[in-house]
Amino acid sequence: MARLSAQAADPLANVPPTININTAREAELVQLAGIGASKAQAIILYREQIAPFASVDDLARVKGIGKATVDKNRNRLSVR
């Protein structure tokens, strides 16, 4: 019998973890497409000074982050 590769045996092995934008640190946020250190800091400041994110779409309210960036990362984001 052929052995399954680790990836075939566990299809979730290469799925990147979901990032909670209400609790993520800068190091986690910069792993997202189109998010560098300055945008990660803007996300953190927004949620601390204005309001926590009620939905993933709220991320587009942060200066410098548009709908396209939200859409690129949608499958990796949560607001748990």
Q: What percent of the chain has pLDDT over 70?
A: 82
Instruction: State which residues form the domain around 53.
Output: 18-78
Q: Is residue 71 part of a domain?
A: yes
pTM for the whole structure: 0.81
Q: Residue 80 has what pLDDT?
A: 87
Q: Is residue 5 part of a domain?
A: no
Each residue's pLDDT tens digit, 21-54: 999 999 999 999 999 999 999 999 999 999 999 9
Phi and psi for 57 in degrees, rounded to 5? -60, -25
Q: Is residue 63 part of a domain?
A: yes
* CATH number, residue 67: 1.10.150.320
Mean pLDDT, rounded, of the chain: 90
Compute the distance between CA of residue 18 and CA of residue 28 in angstroms, rounded to an integer: 10
Q: Which two structure tokens, joined as six digits, stand for 76?
A: 């990796």
pLDDT band at 9 (very low <50, low <70, confident <90, very high): low
Helices in the chain by DSSP H: which ranges? 6-9, 26-29, 37-49, 67-73
Q: Which two structure tokens, joined as six digits, stand for 43?
A: 């996300």
Q: Is residue 12 part of a domain?
A: no
Q: Is residue 7 part of a domain?
A: no
Q: How many domains does the chain have?
A: 1
Q: Residue 13 has what pLDDT?
A: 64
